[in-house]
Amino acid sequence: MSSWRKLSVSGLSLLCRRSRLPPNLHLGSHLSRLHKCYFPPHFVSCSGHHRLFPESRVFGRFSCSSESGNGRCWNCGTAAALAEPFLSCRACGSVQPVDQSVDYFQIFGLEKGYDIPDGNLEGKYKDWQKKLHPDLVHSKSEKEKTFAADQSARVNDAYRTLNKSLSRALYLMRLEGVHVDEEKTVMDPDLLAEMMDIREAVEEASDSHALKQLQTQIERKFEAWANSFREAFKRKNFDDAINSIQRMRYYDRAIEEIIKKL
């Protein structure tokens, strides 16, 4: 019986166990790339400076630019003049530097949580793209152009992070100050053997129909663990939340591999 048939019949359950498993399942480099998007849990970067600062300093009154973070416009000094998390001063119109104390959910006016109402993120991201269009700042000073580019980059990061279930879950944990080692191998023989079966099935899939069927099955698995994460996170049971994320990561990699082949 082929691996694909085994997977079809068993619904990805284990029929074949292996005693020797590779340390790396080679199911894609997505997570290692993703990993690079995240700084260590207690550090955040200051846009444009490429330096890392302890989060407590940035989330307090400290700001790497020394020109923002206290709610005052860098140009005219007007307090609480900022119309929105980013953009420009209401009083003088000068473009403001990125305020690192504003988290990704706040950027989009969303409640902090795993669930994002359908369409909300997409719509709000498009609004930001319009507001941050480079043409709108072409007559501004170089300093303000840099601020605008930083704002744009941060909005893009925020969108990419919140748009995908796995990166959103990781970000939520980071906001809670909980470090998740994404590269840690889950020491569950059932899961690792299942991944081997999936990998074989992906390699042997003869057409896009077979791949799509496989993708649907793995997406269900992913969703099941995403639901577990949601519940664990709500209860602030971070051990269970980490366990769920690590399993989501395995299925996410498998889905990426399938999409690459489609």
Measure the CA–CA gap between 161 and 139, rounded to whole angstroms: 31
Residues 59-78 within binding reach of Zn ion (CB under 5 A): 73, 75-76, 78
Rank residues 8 and 94 by Cβ distance to Zn ion and give the closer one: 94
What phi and psi values does residue 173 have, to the nearest 5 degrees?
-65, -40
Rank residues 76 and 83 by Cβ distance to Zn ion and give the closer one: 76
Q: Is 89 an interacting residue with respect to Zn ion (CB under 5 A)?
A: yes
Q: In whole angstroms, how close is the CB of 85 to Zn ion at the nearest point?
A: 16
Rank residues 41 and 93 by Cβ distance to Zn ion and give the closer one: 93
Q: Which of 15, 16, 52, 91 binds Zn ion (CB under 5 A)?
A: 91
Measure the CA–CA gap between 243 and 155, rounded to whole angstroms: 29
DSSP tag of 97: P
Rank residues 89 and 241 by Cβ distance to Zn ion and give the closer one: 89
Measure the CA–CA gap between 176 and 162, rounded to whole angstroms: 15
Q: In whole angstroms, how close is the CB of 27 to Zn ion at the nearest point?
A: 50
Supply the DSSP string of 107-123, one letter for each residue: HTTPPSSS---TTHHHH
Q: Is 166 an interacting residue with respect to Zn ion (CB under 5 A)?
A: no
Q: Is the dihedral of CA 160, 162, 168, 173 positive or negative?
A: positive
Q: In whole angstroms, how close is the CB of 141 to Zn ion at the nearest point?
A: 13
Q: Which of 92, 224, 259, 262 binds Zn ion (CB under 5 A)?
A: 92
Q: In whole angstroms, how close is the CB of 75 to Zn ion at the nearest point?
A: 5
Q: Is 46 an interacting residue with respect to Zn ion (CB under 5 A)?
A: no
Q: In whole angstroms, how close is the CB of 68 to Zn ion at the nearest point?
A: 11
* Binding mask of the shown chain, residues 240 to 259, with x at each position contacting Zn ion by CB under 5 A: --------------------
CB contact at 8 A, 219 and 255? yes
Q: In whole angstroms, how close is the CB of 131 to Zn ion at the nearest point?
A: 17
Length of the chain: 262
Q: Is the dihedral of CA 85, 155, 55, 174 positive or negative?
A: positive
Measure the CA–CA gap between 251 and 233, rounded to whole angstroms: 19
Measure the CA–CA gap between 210 and 207, rounded to whole angstroms: 6
Q: Footprint of Zn ion on this chain (CB under 5 A)?
A: 73, 75-76, 78, 89, 91-92
